[in-house]
């Protein structure tokens, strides 16, 4: 509901949609907004997720403000076209209700759907709660349509544990959103009166230059997003950062997490602090572009950094976030011990006790022998 209401207040023009659990409620409510006349938009029911993202590309290329959403296998079916959207510099916004990839078939949350899309060239954000979902979608349009960026954006929300939980959300008025989010100004469009080709053949003498421009825009998005977050705070009082910290200043061990589990982690940190354990938390909100400097600052001074990954990279010795973090520290002179635990696969519960066990094993030196541990296999 929060995602759909954000789309309605952002005056989106075209919504190509295909249902898949657990994101279906988003596009169902958008359909209600359109049917009731509360959103003047073209709602396009399509025959597959591949068609949904293809229609979104076409709509954005014609200059329309465009939204779609998906999850799990649906996102995998979009994979081919995600590269086209970012390479063509189309400012599409998509919500992903993160869900495990089969087999076995599983409809609950983990990050195995979004991590294979890490390198598609989209800006990628993670929400912790319903308020984040609402705010980040509106911010995503401001970022995607900025001419210093012109890239598509994914807003991730954990399936069920976020998408199906009822909680209070402050909804901005349409006028407030209009003041923050100006009308779309497309960088270039398809126009029958001025024919052009977009995404055409690129020979070896131009392909590298196109990819370099795309990479530069993605890196630039980080600074632009910080400007947007500062303005959003000035207008509405809520502050967002690429990496958000909780009690890290004097922490001996710092947990790293993304998504809705970060709120559980904060509660666990508070409890462990009362017991004298010097633990803190760094929550990654911006996944792509990867926030190197913000993480180095957040983790400075920690002896141990413990990552909770919600996806196993098969054969890759850990999870995507842990691998990324170890790579980031490769050339740093001061390196904490970085340990990676895999937990919460297929929606398995992550509780305060999970984080306690994670901290205990980290302080005991486990799993220093191989750097990562599939925690759920070893903790009932």
How far apart (Å, rounded) are the C-alpha atoms in residues 54 and 9? 24
Neighbours of 329 (CB within 10 A): 18
Starting at the edge strand that comes first in sequence, how are the strands of the sheet with 67-70 ordered? Answer: 67-70, 93-98, 153-158, 123-126, 286-288
167 & 299 share domain: no
- CA dist 49 → 75, 89, 178 (Å): 7, 20, 30
pLDDT digits (tens, 9 = 90+) for 163-209: 999 999 999 999 999 999 999 999 889 999 999 888 888 999 999 99
Give me the pLDDT at residue 211, please: 95
Residues 229 and 119 both lie in one domain = yes
CATH code of the domain covering residue 250: 3.40.50.920
| Kind of pairing between the strands at 67-70 and 42-45 | unpaired
Q: What is the pLDDT of residue 331?
A: 84
Q: Is 27's pLDDT higher than 60?
A: yes
Q: Are residues 78 and 15 in the same domain?
A: yes
Greater confidence (221 vs 365) lies with 221
Q: 9 with 116, same domain?
A: yes
What is the radius of gyration, based on Cα positions, of the chain?
Answer: 21
Is pTM beyond 0.85 here? yes
At 204 the three-state DSSP class reads helix
What are the pLDDT digits (tens) for 342-376? 999 999 999 999 999 899 988 886 554 344 455 54
Give the three-state DSSP class for 161. coil
Question: What's the pLDDT score for residue 281?
Answer: 98
Looking at the 3D structure of the chain, how many domains does it have? 2
Structural domain including 366 reads 244-378
Assess whether 231 and 344 both reside in one domain.
Answer: no
Each residue's pLDDT tens digit, 124-169: 999 999 999 999 999 999 999 999 999 999 999 999 999 999 999 9
- 99 and 63 within one domain: yes
């Amino acid at each position: 509901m929060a995602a759909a209401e954000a789309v309605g207040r952002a005056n989106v023009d075209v919504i190509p949609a295909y249902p898949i659990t657990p994101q279906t409620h988003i596009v169902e409510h958008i359909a209600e907004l359109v049917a009731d006349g509360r959103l003047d938009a073209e709602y396009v029911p399509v025959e597959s997720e591949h068609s949904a993202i293809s229609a979104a590309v076409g709509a954005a290329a014609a200059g329309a403000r465009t939204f779609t959403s998906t999850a799990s296998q649906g996102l995998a079916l979009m994979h081919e076209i995600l590269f086209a959207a970012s390479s063509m510099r189309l400012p599409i916004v998509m919500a992903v209700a993160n869900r495990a990839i089969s087999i076995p078939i599983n409809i609950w949350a983990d990050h195995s759907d979004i991590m294979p899309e890490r390198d598609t060239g989209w800006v990628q954000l993670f929400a912790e709660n319903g308020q984040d979902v609402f705010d980040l979608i509106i911010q995503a349009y401001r970022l995607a349509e900025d001419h210093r960026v012109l890239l598509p954006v994914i807003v991730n929300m954990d399936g069920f544990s976020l998408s199906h939980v009822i909680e209070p959300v402050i909804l901005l008025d349409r006028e407030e959103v209009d003041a923050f989010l100006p009308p779309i100004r497309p960088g270039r469009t398809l126009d029958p009166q001025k024919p052009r080709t977009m995404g055409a053949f690129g020979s070896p003498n131009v392909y590298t230059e196109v990819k370099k421009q795309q990479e530069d825009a993605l890196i630039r998005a980080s600074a632009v997003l910080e400007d947007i977050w500062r303005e959003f705070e000035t207008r509405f009082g809520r502050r967002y950062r690429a990496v958000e910290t909780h009690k890290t200043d004097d922490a001996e061990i710092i947990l790293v997490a993304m998504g809705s589990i970060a709120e559980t982690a904060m509660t666990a940190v508070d409890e462990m602090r009362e017991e004298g354990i010097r633990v803190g938390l760094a929550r990654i909100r911006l996944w792509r572009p990867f926030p190197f400097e913000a993480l180095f600052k957040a983790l400075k001074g920690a002896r141990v950094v413990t990552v909770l990954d919600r996806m196993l990279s098969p054969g890759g010795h850990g999870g995507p976030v842990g691998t990324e973090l170890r790579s980031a520290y490769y050339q740093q002179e001061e390196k904490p011990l970085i340990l990676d635990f895999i937990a919460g696969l297929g929606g398995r519960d992550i509780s305060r006790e999970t984080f306690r066990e994670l901290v205990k094993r980290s302080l005991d030196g486990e799993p220093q022998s191989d750097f990562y541990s599939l925690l759920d296999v070893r903790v009932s």
